[in-house]
């Protein structure tokens, strides 16, 4: 049963189409991410759920109730903005209490809930501070507590972590996930950061140019990208031009000097896609794509190889597991398992 439902939602600004035919059902307690580059319509969609923008078409339903006629102040959604949007003239505790005050929660209960909310985000004792005297991470926590203390039906997060430095962002990701799991709040996260989306979400909605490219679990979208856009946006992908030819009674997939039994699907010019970490090195006698190591970059827990193959440039990522790695300039063969390889119609990479 869908808790939050977006039914063919679209938004146009004048002649510009920002969101088109957006359909999504979010289950209660689910953590959904809208992932895409800037301008893909993800924030617009979030703002339509929040009620700051009216959809040009389609319907948004929350728990079966059409939100079109519900004013944003009455939707009961918690929102965390990229800029945190804390009230600068109020203390942390007053910020968090604001939503409760608007709901007419009596003072005693208000104070108890604010205390609990501060404790939940690890800021017990910081209630009397003003936002400007808190660090970015602390402000972020206050914003989260302020959105959650009203026990919203849906928590909307608009790029909430993008202003934090890398280390803090990772910590906050874990914490955010923990809090969301504990409370079971249905959450929609807007982000352009694929690792963040993958780390946090139950499902990811990958968007491009106002349209949904794919909806799926992080693992699905990464391993089985529905389009070239998705495979490029989620991590790195090697692409090799190839061809599927008839061969006697069957068909064969040919790329450079390599051939595989062709899987069912397209014929003619195709593109092979394979993730860099799925590629292994074999010595020159093996049956694989002939390549030469152009650059070898050490990145701590793994090595990054830029290779020149007979079918164009390729990236290879190998674990730094103590094994000997090929040197720059060395001739190698690139091999991978047939099931790690994707096939797309069309020869252009």
Partner 1 sequence: MSRNGPLSLLFHAVFVVFMLAPIAVVCLVAFTPEGYLSLPVNGFSLRWFRALASYPEFIDAFWVSLWVGAASSFIALGFAIPAALAVARHQFPGREAISALFLSPLMIPHVVLGVAFLRFFTQIGISGTFPALLVAHVILVFPFALRLTLAAAVGMDRSVEMAAVSLGANGWTLFRRITLPLILPGVVSGWALAFIQSFDEVTMTVFLAAPGVETLPVRMFLYVQDNIDPLVTSVSACVIAITMIALVLLDRFYGLDRVLAGHSDRSS
Residue ranges in contact with partner 1 by CB under 8 A: 50, 52, 71-79, 81-83, 85-89, 98-99, 102-103, 130, 132-133, 143, 146-147, 150
Please say which residue, 71 or 167, places its beta carbon nearer to partner 1.
71
Whether the Cβ atoms of residue 230 and residue 244 lie closer than 8 Å to each other: no
What DSSP line would sit under 332-346, residue for residue? EEEE--GGG-EEEES
**H-state helical runs in the chain:** 42-50, 92-102, 107-120, 136-148, 166-183, 194-200, 218-223, 228-233
Q: What are phi and psi for residue 266, nearest 5 degrees?
A: -65, 155
Determine how β-strand 268-274 pairs with β-strand 342-345: antiparallel
Minimum Å gap between C-beta 173 and partner 1 is: 22
Minimum Å gap between C-beta 29 and partner 1 is: 20
Please say which residue, 6 or 147, places its beta carbon nearer to partner 1.
147
CB burial of residue 327 (10 Å; 0-12, 13-18, 19+)? exposed
Please say which residue, 81 or 303, places its beta carbon nearer to partner 1.
81
Structure tokens at 214: 């794919």
Q: Which residue has the tokens 């289950």?
A: 27
Supply the DSSP symbol for 326.
Answer: P
Structure tokens at 100: 């409760």
Minimum Å gap between C-beta 170 and partner 1 is: 25
Minimum Å gap between C-beta 27 and partner 1 is: 22
Minimum Å gap between C-beta 5 and partner 1 is: 20
Whether the Cβ atoms of residue 329 and residue 292 lie closer than 8 Å to each other: yes
Please say which residue, 65 or 103, places its beta carbon nearer to partner 1.
103
Whether the Cβ atoms of residue 256 and residue 334 lie closer than 8 Å to each other: no
Minimum Å gap between C-beta 149 and partner 1 is: 9
Please say which residue, 100 or 262, places its beta carbon nearer to partner 1.
100
Give dist(CA 229, CA 91) in Å, integer: 44
Please say which residue, 79 or 311, places its beta carbon nearer to partner 1.
79
Please say which residue, 85 or 315, places its beta carbon nearer to partner 1.
85
Sign of CA dihedral 286, 297, 241, 237: positive
Minimum Å gap between C-beta 47 and partner 1 is: 8
């Amino acid at each position: 049963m869908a808790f939050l439902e977006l039914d063919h939602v679209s938004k146009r600004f004048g002649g510009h189409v920002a969101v088109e035919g957006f359909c999504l059902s979010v289950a209660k307690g689910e953590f959904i991410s809208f992932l895409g580059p800037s301008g893909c319509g993800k924030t617009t969609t979030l703002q339509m759920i929040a009620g700051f923008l009216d959809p040009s078409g389609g319907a948004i339903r929350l728990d079966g109730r059409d939100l079109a006629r519900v004013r944003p102040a009455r939707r009961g959604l918690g929102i965390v903005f990229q800029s945190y949007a804390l009230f600068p003239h109020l203390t942390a505790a007053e910020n968090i209490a604001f939503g409760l005050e608007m709901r007419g929660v009596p003072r005693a209960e208000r104070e108890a809930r604010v205390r609990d909310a501060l404790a939940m985000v690890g800021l017990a004792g910081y209630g009397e501070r003003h936002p400007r005297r808190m660090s970015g991470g602390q402000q972020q926590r206050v914003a989260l507590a302020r959105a959650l203390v009203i026990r919203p039906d849906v928590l909307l997060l608009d790029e909430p972590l993008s202003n934090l430095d890398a280390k803090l962002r990772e910590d906050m990701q874990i914490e955010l996930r923990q809090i969301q799991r504990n409370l079971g709040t249905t959450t929609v996260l807007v982000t352009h950061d694929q690792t963040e989306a993958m780390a946090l979400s139950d499902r990811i909605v990958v968007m491009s140019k106002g349209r949904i490219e794919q909806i799926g679990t992080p693992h699905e979208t990464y391993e089985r990208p529905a389009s070239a856009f998705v495979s490029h946006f989620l991590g790195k992908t090697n692409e090799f031009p190839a061809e599927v030819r008839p061969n006697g009674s069957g068909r064969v997939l040919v790329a450079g000097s390599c051939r595989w039994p062709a899987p069912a699907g397209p014929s003619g010019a195709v593109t092979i896609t394979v993730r860099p970490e799925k590629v292994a090195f074999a010595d020159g006698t093996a049956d694989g794509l002939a390549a030469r190591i152009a650059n070898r970059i050490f990145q701590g827990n793994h090595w990054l190889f830029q290779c020149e193959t007979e079918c164009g440039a390729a990236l290879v990522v190998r674990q730094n597991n103590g094994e000997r790695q090929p040197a720059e300039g060395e001739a190698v063969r690139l091999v991978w398992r047939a099931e790690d390889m994707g096939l797309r119609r069309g020869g252009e990479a």
